[in-house]
Structure 1
């Protein structure tokens, strides 16, 4: 919406009322939050001013409001019923009456949800058709699931993608029902992260892994809760991603120190080498990811399908967590941290190869496009 002048922004206006709650909000409150996030005015519009008429009987992904805001004289429909209509002339009152009656206002171009193409969400690294559906007491659970899935990253690690989506959905629902905010979840998670680090340092690996696993699930919950309840904030983003970025090296150092409690400590030269590889490789990979975005305008993990597949297992916290737990299960936590160092080095080589290949493509004049745009 940054390319839309303030005078061109339509006012979001509700049509009807729906007492059914979604993530603890009625449709008017949820739509108001979506409008605020999109920097669109909400409420009654001046006469003859453009407006987005939203039917209170439907719930929809926030992407639809942004899409319709940029498409004057269009209407999004579901099963032939209007959901959002962008009206630009003096017929707004008649259009609102039509929407209230479940009729498509005359003179608008129909965008049928059933025929809609998938959209690319760069922030969540995925391509999908955003949801739009009737909201009734019978559909709440399904709509919340659709909203949650819509807020989930498409390209991420294997644990986040396959192991705990259902765990995180359960916790996200409970937090929303209890009025727990995303920042509360992030703060509690940060405390668990610190406890995990301390336990690692004393060699209490299994309790630390259990608490660390809970923290990792909460690390998914806070973001999903923010997106589902439309409560994202700059501070929340900084807290969540700041903790994510900073804590992994502390976990690895603490794990290495905890080996003394097992009588399996690494020699000083080996310890120094292992930590240099892990921490140096971690920093280098994050720098490569940033450089790839700066040079090619996309995340390194969404360039080709193989790059997205490698993101499932690349040497980041969650895949490394599996390595740590795997060797610990056979009583060799010392090999755990050495294996993480090896996997970090291998992943760094892969990242460097991806960067080099993209550079060659660009030098040859070949376009660098995400496979999600195909």
Structure 2
């Protein structure tokens, strides 16, 4: 097995992106991707350019390969003499060295990013003060999941972008954003329990936006941590059933109580459906090595509306508009059951496809 390369910054650049110099950004990328050791080949990084961290991860397994922008080398995984490539980087001229595989950053074909569930063309742009707004937007967009729910995808990308920039400029860490969001999540739960649905929805909305901000801030500033990842995902995983239970309890305080039979049927359906869907998603990953939501186009589309927190909140919001929060929580239970059936059918269809000798691969790959 080939040793992992180590990143070697080339040049200097005082222009800041996300509140840090490009040299610091490259060092953070190297640490995060374990490309900061002294062994192995060198991966030259041209500091005149800002690039998506996906490029270094992609290039780590491709020795003697160079990523160019306008012909100028931006990144180069070198096993031979790096001097010719380094000179081209420092002089800002097209690369003339032979014997290297060239990947043009402008190529529209792009690459598949499994972690973010999308096919993308990672950015590589010349870093100048004039280009900073463009690069930060490209960096933010690069950190966004391609397959997600309708609110995250369409409603608040711009809100989260503004908050992510403000947090980066102010030196606020992703874990601090997660901490603020966690408090809002708990307060929203209490408000739902006591029937203060509109106030709870307002705080819940802010929490949901911050739930996007912390992840984007971590990726854009290259400050992801095991603690932050576990904390963020732990809150995401645990709180939805508590919200639904609190909402069902709060219907009585609001003046629209559920009868006992309906209450426990709703709670049981939601809890079972929520856990079962998560188990199905996990089983799909274990069996097929990818998320169920990226298998076929239908699965990516269904992820927009499947019974996760954000689509369920749309149902609850709509029910409040007609002053029937009780109908809303019943609707969430029904939609959870239907979504569970869809996920179960898709899992069985994938298993059947493989049993027939077919390949189960992502339509985005």
In the alignment, is residue 171 of structure 1 matched against residue 163 of structure 2?
A: yes
- The TM-score, its normalising length taken from structure 2, stands at 0.96
Structure 1 counterpart of 2:76: 85
2:56 paired with 1:65: yes
Q: Distance in 1 between matches of 2:61 and 2:205?
A: 42
Distance 2:363 2:102 in 1: 29
- Residue 325, structure 1, aligned to residue 317, structure 2: yes
* Residue 135 (structure 1) aligns with: 127
Q: Distance in 1 between matches of 2:261 and 2:59?
A: 61
Q: Find the counterpart in structure 2 of residue 27 from structure 1.
A: 22
**Cα distance in 2 for residues equivalent to 1:70 and 1:281:** 40
Q: What's the CA shift for 1:365?
A: 1.3
- Identify the range of structure 1 (294-303 vs 235-244) with the bigger mean alpha-carbon deviation: 294-303
Who is 2:342 aligned against? 350
1:149-180 Cα distance to aligned partner (Å, 9 max, x none): 00000000000000000000000000000011
- 1:314-354 per-residue CA deviation (whole Å, 9 max, x = no partner) reads 01100000000101111111111111111111111111111
Q: Which runs of 4+ in 1 moved over 6 A?
A: none
Aligned counterpart, 1:226: 218
Match of 1:209 in 2: 201
Give the match's secondary structure for 2:74.
strand
Tell me the SS of whatever aligns to 1:52: strand
What are the residue-to-residue correspondences of 1:178-193 with 2, within 5 Å? 178-193=170-185
1:97 to 87, 108, 122: 87
Does the CA-based 8 Å contact 2:72-2:88 persist in structure 1?
no
| Within-5 A mapping of 1:31-70 | 31-41=26-36, 50-70=41-61
Between 1:100-109 and 1:226-235, the stretch displaced more is 100-109
Structure 1 unmatched ranges of 5 or more? none
Specify the SS of the correspondent of 2:20: coil
Q: What is the deviation of 1:246? A: 0.3
Indicate the residue corresponding to 1:124 in structure 2: 116
The alignment partner of 1:120 has SS state of strand
| C-alpha distance 105-86 of structure 1, shift in aligned 2 (>3 A) | farther
| Contact preservation (8 Å) 2:44, 2:86 | yes
Superposition deviation, residue 51 in structure 1:
1.1
The count of residues paired between Structure 1 and Structure 2 equals: 363
Distance in 1, matches of 2:326 and 2:58, equals 53
Structure 2 counterpart of 1:286: 278
User: Helix, strand or coil for the counterpart of 1:71?
Assistant: coil
1:16 matched to 2:8? The reply is no
Q: Distance in 2 between matches of 1:95 and 1:122?
A: 30
Matches within 5 A, 1:217-296: 217-296=209-288
Q: Distance in 2 between matches of 1:249 and 1:71?
A: 44
- How far did 1:367 drift? 1.0
Q: Deviations over 1:80-127 (max 9, x none)?
A: 2111122223x3334322210013252333222123632111111111
Measured after TM superposition, the shift of residue 10 of structure 1 is 2.3
Secondary structure of the structure 1 residue equivalent to 2:16: coil
Question: C-alpha separation between the residues in 2 aligned to 1:328 and 1:206?
Answer: 8
What root-mean-square deviation, in Å, do the aligned CA atoms of Structure 1 and Structure 2 show? 1.4
CA contact (8 A) 1:99 1:105 kept: no
Tell me, in whole angstroms, the C-alpha distance in 2 between the residues paired with 1:303 and 1:92. 41
